[in-house]
Structure 1
Amino acid sequence: MRSGAMQVEAVSTTGIYCRAECSARPLARNTARYPSSVAAEAAGYRPCLRCRPERRAGSLAGLDAPEPVAAALLRITDGYLDDHDEQELASHVGYSARHLRRLFELHIGATPSAIARSRRAHFARRLIDETDLPFDAIARAAGLGGSRQLHRAMASLFGFTPSQLRSKRRRGERPSIDGGLALSVPYMAPFDFGAFLAHHAPRAIPGVESADGTYVRSISVCGHGGIAEVADAADGEHLRLRLHLPTYDSIIDDVHRARALLGTDADPDRPAVLDDDPVIGPLMRAAPGLRVPRSWDRFETVIRIVAGQQVSVAAASTMCGRIARRLGVPLSVADATVDETARDQASPVPHLPPPGSLPNHQFPSAAAQAGAGARGHAGLGFTQRRIDTIIGVARAVSDGDLDLEATHSLDDTVAQLCQFEGIGPWSAHLIAMRVFGHDDAFPASDLGLRRAVEHLTGQPCNPRELQARAESWRPYRSWAAQHLWNAAAGSHRQLPSNHPPD
């Protein structure tokens, strides 16, 4: 995170906190700096209605904090405290609840529960501003339970009732009624949405997702199937997320998944250590808004990576599409029709992408794939060895032996993954990069990376030489890899898309 990116200034005389660049100019003696919005809120300050500091992109998970705190933060942003308490969270990272709260107050400025409450309250505020959903529907969507809890949360944090906040929304924030629930997703500028689409399009799983001008995928919320669309808002600050669902309960988690996949909270200035590198530096200057894509569905991404071993990108995507058709839950347009609580925001007939590009299945869960066994995966194009790997991983995830939300060091993550039959360093590093969010993961044996470096340097590059060269790219080798893949995709050269055996 760039220095001070999450910091805010609180004003003791007014009881509000602002962005550093806010046009308000209080006396310096009346201001105090806090490391994040949630820290200022924990100290009793309310967000400024002028600069709206709570609406900018940026993730608390990007702050410098000890590994257990980072692990707990990741769980909180994934909604863990919606269904668990602080004691369970603390046990997960190896601490008592009291000690974890002490660490959070020291490094973050707020307790885990305060961060979870802030997460729900700010999402509810966004729905108040950007939609015409009834307040009880907003409360359920944000995980607040009901209208009474929503009223209490808004009055406590913002100093206004939900009705007062809705009356204060700015011109242009009122939604257009053209189907689905449309939300803005802020990002840390610059952001290259086109580069994400170009990278993801050939890797998209047919029937589950597509990336042709707009990213579209099937989703499941509270057991209900639906469709999510992500497009560029073309304002230099936001993406536009549109959800088509029969219910909007608990959609806060899917908004988080969209942000995780696209990396909207990642700071593009963070890997500045690469600026002076003779290979990566020019690529970063040519594509300053590039991000490292992560995952919407962690298990789905793991299987897509395993399927990509020793085959082309297109073949891996096709075979994963076959898995979805055979073992996934079918999705119909009717699944995405809104319910009565959303009539003020979305029309009965959703504004959906062209039928040919609509997802038609949800990717099967780990339990479903484990239960299908070898027979359920036969005839889909996989070798028996690959089927065994897929089933082994599915069983480990389903049984809880492989925690895809764990926050371990890169070395420990790779070591654990390589214990699975059929998973070697290439797959392990890609999974560490895409699923676990490690910025320093680097699949040095990837042919695309090697050929990209050869093209840029004019010199042969084997895996060992690439590994040695990448040492100077630490701790952001994942960013370097993404820039190399991006450069290769735009070079108009047919670089190999198959990968070495694991």
Structure 2
Amino acid sequence: MTIYSAVVTTGIYCRPGCGSKPLAENVRTFEHPAAAEAHGYRACLRCRPYRVAGPIAADVPELLCRAVQLIVAGALDSGTEAALGARLAVSPRHLRRLFTQHLGVTPDQLARSRRAHFARRLLDDTDLAVADVAFASGFGSVRQFNRDMRLVFQASPVELRSRRRRADRLVADGGLVMRLPFAPPLHWPALLGFLAERAVPGVESVREGVYRRTISLDGEAGLLEVLRGGADHLLLRAHLPFWEGLIHVVERVGRIFGVDADIAPAEAALARDPLVGPLIAARPGLRVPGAWGAFEIAVDAVLRQYAARARAREQMAALVEAAGQPVPGLDHGLTHLFPSAETLAAADLKGVGLPKDTADTLRALALAAARDDTLLDGGSPLADFVHGMSAVPGVTEDTAQRTALRLGYDDAFPTVDRTGGATRGEPGAEAGATLRPWRAFAATHLAVARVPVPTA
């Protein structure tokens, strides 16, 4: 758990490792930077805690974790705490009490802090106009932007930009470049290898140490490129049709690479496991890879339910070519946007060469996702998510678990991995029970190392 130290006499808070050495009696501690800001403290100019997202402790209630995920996805950019509570089936009062008890802030305060921190990074790293920074960071108006920046940083956006360091500004040859900070280590080769093996043809590519993919923003195409930037950050180069809502693009990219993940508890808990422990020692810093699009991951999981990985990759390429929106003019093998659930639901899936069982299951999934936008949003408990997805005709529980792993469920545990037509285990209710509650972390190490999955 990260503990932030705030100094009563200076009104400044710091992240761990800062060089300042105040007297112990003058120090207060907080588990999240937003909590320190809610108590009137401002970020240290030396360690700049706003440049690294404050991780959520691993032992907080699952409901709180899901609420934070929805806030990160923009639930409070224009919505209310009451609407967020309704989405989670709790009262706004209970939701605020839960946030205050475990994080020291209300949901609105957390959302405001995240927007302000992201805006400060844009002011440091880019030359975007102040108004563009406001809307890219999820603020509803420049007036709200100015007000919240003064509340969090006690200075206006113009003043904050004037304070940036010369080395902060990132010079890019096309596109907008931003840092994606993480707490070292991060095992980049293993993470990139995992993504390369599962890259969607025409939509994703991994070449020469760079991950690239096409994305759709309100129907318009964009391109993202991610590469290793340094010991404590990745670099994102974004080519987008507009900057509004950039904060959510960056958050989604961050989830793909787990930059905000606190993996220390999982590594510590599994370090002595006879199977997983040696794998962790061999690849320290490996994160559970996330996903840009939930439907995209679910489609891949369904295809791999019926076919070996190589064949599933061929089928995915055929789907993208037949139903995806073409994006001309790109290189590195990128040619299309991934088709939406609505598009696949209406497509002739058998006409692209899918077997009947595969086509029927895929169409059922596309119809279900098109009708219910909460089916794959990751906002429900793991058991409910698996139950809801496996209720789709033809979708197995293991396919739902495979999807859940990429959507950020810590205890998701797919036990079937078809490679070359062979299976590495059969699903069971207690499979990998000794690895709870970090089964997704364990399964990622097992998959990267190609070690057979333990079964019941």
Q: TM-score range by the shorter chain?
A: over 0.9
- The separation in 2 between residues aligned to 1:14 and 1:451, in whole angstroms, is 63
Deviations 1:252-284 (A, max 9, x none): 111011111111111232212211112211111
* Corresponding residue number in structure 1 for 2:406: 434
The answer as to whether partners of 2:375 and 2:388 remain within 8 angstroms in 1 is no
1:222 offset after TM fit, Å? Answer: 3.9
**Alignment partner of 1:390 is 2:362:** yes
- The separation in 2 between residues aligned to 1:270 and 1:248, in whole angstroms, is 36
- The separation in 2 between residues aligned to 1:402 and 1:184, in whole angstroms, is 31
* Corresponding residue number in structure 1 for 2:344: 369
- The separation in 1 between residues aligned to 2:300 and 2:422, in whole angstroms, is 23
Deviations 1:96-144 (A, max 9, x none): 2222222211222111111111111111111000001111111111122
Query: Among 23, 26, 29, which residue is 1:30 paired with?
Result: 26
Query: Among 367, 387, 390, which residue is 1:415 paired with?
Result: 387
The answer as to whether partners of 2:306 and 2:358 remain within 8 angstroms in 1 is no
* Corresponding residue number in structure 1 for 2:443: 481
Question: Mind listing any 5+ residue stretches in structure 2 that lack a counterpart?
Answer: none
Partner amino acid, structure 2, of 1:415: H
1:462 offset after TM fit, Å? Answer: 5.2
Report the 3-state secondary structure (helix = DSSP H, G, I; strand = E; otherwise coil) of the residue aligned with 1:362: coil
**Alignment partner of 1:72 is 2:67:** yes
Report the 3-state secondary structure (helix = DSSP H, G, I; strand = E; otherwise coil) of the residue aligned with 1:166: helix
Deviations 1:158-177 (A, max 9, x none): 12222221121123112214
Partner amino acid, structure 2, of 1:292: V
Report the 3-state secondary structure (helix = DSSP H, G, I; strand = E; otherwise coil) of the residue aligned with 2:93: helix
Q: Which has the higher contact order (CA 8 A, sep 6+)?
A: 1
Instruction: Tell me which stretches of 4 or more aligned residues in structure 1 moved more than 4 Å.
Output: 447-452, 466-469
Name the % identity.
Answer: 41
Aligned length: 451
* Corresponding residue number in structure 2 for 1:141: 136
- The separation in 1 between residues aligned to 2:26 and 2:392, in whole angstroms, is 57
* Corresponding residue number in structure 2 for 1:352: none
The answer as to whether partners of 1:218 and 1:361 remain within 8 angstroms in 2 is yes
The answer as to whether partners of 1:56 and 1:186 remain within 8 angstroms in 2 is yes
Partner amino acid, structure 1, of 2:346: G
- The separation in 2 between residues aligned to 1:267 and 1:134, in whole angstroms, is 33
* Corresponding residue number in structure 2 for 1:458: none
Deviations 1:211-233 (A, max 9, x none): 12211001123443110000000
Partner amino acid, structure 1, of 2:273: D
Question: Mind listing any 5+ residue stretches in structure 1 that lack a counterpart?
Answer: 334-354, 453-460, 490-494, 497-502
1:367 offset after TM fit, Å? Answer: 1.8
The answer as to whether partners of 1:257 and 1:296 remain within 8 angstroms in 2 is yes
Report the 3-state secondary structure (helix = DSSP H, G, I; strand = E; otherwise coil) of the residue aligned with 1:91: helix
1:483 offset after TM fit, Å? Answer: 1.3
Report the 3-state secondary structure (helix = DSSP H, G, I; strand = E; otherwise coil) of the residue aligned with 1:210: strand
- The separation in 2 between residues aligned to 1:20 and 1:486, in whole angstroms, is 31
Change (3 A) 1:251 1:422: same
Partner amino acid, structure 2, of 1:380: V
What is the root-mean-square deviation in Å for CA atoms of aligned residues? 2.4
TM-score w.r.t. length of structure 1: 0.84
- The separation in 2 between residues aligned to 1:402 and 1:153, in whole angstroms, is 31
Pairs within 5 Å for 1:23-422: 23-60=19-56, 62-212=57-207, 213-233=209-229, 235-271=230-266, 272-333=268-329, 355-372=330-347, 376-400=348-372, 402-422=374-394
Report the 3-state secondary structure (helix = DSSP H, G, I; strand = E; otherwise coil) of the residue aligned with 2:255: helix
The answer as to whether partners of 2:186 and 2:287 remain within 8 angstroms in 1 is yes
Deviations 1:415-436 (A, max 9, x none): 222222221132121012112x
Report the 3-state secondary structure (helix = DSSP H, G, I; strand = E; otherwise coil) of the residue aligned with 2:248: helix
1:38 offset after TM fit, Å? Answer: 0.8
